[in-house]
Amino acid sequence: MFRSRADVVFWIVLAAVFAAGIVATQTWSNEYYFTAIYAILQATIMAVAWNILGGFTGYVNFGSAGFFAIGAYTAVALDKWLGLPMPFLILASATICGLMGLGVGYLTLRLKGVYFAIATLAMAIVLETLIVNWSYVGGSKGVYILTPETVPFFKSYIHLLFVVMLGLALAAIAVSRYLNASRVGRGLAAIRDDETAAECTGVPTLRLKLISTTLMGAMMGIAGAPYPFFVTFVDPASAFNLFVAVNSIAMPMIGGTAHWIGPVIGALLVGSLQEIMTVTISSAVNVLIVGVMLVLFITLAPQGIVGLVQKWHRRGKR
């Protein structure tokens, strides 16, 4: 875990952020901040998850919302059926969405580029149709979730959810960072750069792609599991929202997809801007922001913010 000084710094920062989050729940009284930051954290997990398949492995996909929603509905169903506590719901969502990632990966990874992207979009639509017709979890009408009035250690339920989400986001970042620098990560990068050459240098491309889709699915599921308790009302239209999928693609693109920090920067930047715009102007401006930023970055800085920084860094050295 602590192989270099960068590792030590990374874990200290992570611990500090988590500690600061806990301190904030004990000192800040305005609940708005926690809902706002919760949304940013959720976006961070999704951006990190998308980037494992879309960025590290180079398989751009539109299925994020599907995995996220299945994560949310797994939590809804298990909460209603067995009343399991939150950690089990998160674990169950991660498992189900991870398996779904594995299955979808196996079926669709033979497709490349645009065809793969379209197949994942179709998958999300199929899943939405399934949920719409499943009355146990509310069908198209949606379902209300009751959250406890009081919770131990925290002043309110939203504080607890906030801390859970903070822990999950930090864990997702740590996994993504570890993966990026690992042997598997190098194999994924080789697949992204040239799949044929990767296979011929000994990289088991199919197996690594399946690891990638499984991990992506599990992380999306984890982001979705606490969502019903956060919003207290879920329906297919909001869970399968295309905007959610677009966000999780746009954020890594804006931050930079090749490096683990890219989606984190993108999510923090875009997520914060969206929250500020929602409060100061209107929630409709949200969509505009993502659109404009995405177009700007794709045309002017296709490697994202990380790419820009690396370019300046190289120029500085010369």
List interacting residues with another protein (CB under 8 A).
Answer: 183, 186-187, 189-190, 192-194, 196-206, 258
- 14 φ, ψ (degrees, to nearest 5): -60, -50
Enter the tokens of residue 23: 């301190």
Tell the smallest beta-carbon distance from residue 192 to another protein (Å): 7
- Cβ proximity to another protein, 205 vs 248, nearer residue: 205
Tell the smallest beta-carbon distance from residue 53 to another protein (Å): 16
- Cβ proximity to another protein, 31 vs 193, nearer residue: 193
Residues 6 or more apart in contact with residue 88 via CB below 8 angstroms: 78
Tell the smallest beta-carbon distance from residue 302 to another protein (Å): 12
Q: What is the DSSP letter of 155?
A: S
- CA dist., res. 272 & res. 299, Å (int): 23
Tell the smallest beta-carbon distance from residue 37 to another protein (Å): 33
Tell the smallest beta-carbon distance from residue 202 to another protein (Å): 3
Going from the C-alpha of 36 to that of each of 88, 235, 276, 281, the distances in angstroms are: 25, 21, 9, 15
- Note the helical H segments in the chain: 5-27, 31-51, 64-81, 86-108, 113-132, 157-181, 183-193, 195-200, 205-224, 227-231, 236-239, 242-255, 261-280, 284-300, 304-317
- Cβ proximity to another protein, 31 vs 194, nearer residue: 194
Tell the smallest beta-carbon distance from residue 6 to another protein (Å): 17
The residue whose two tokens read 């859970």 is: 164
- 145 φ, ψ (degrees, to nearest 5): -115, 130
- Cβ proximity to another protein, 187 vs 266, nearer residue: 187
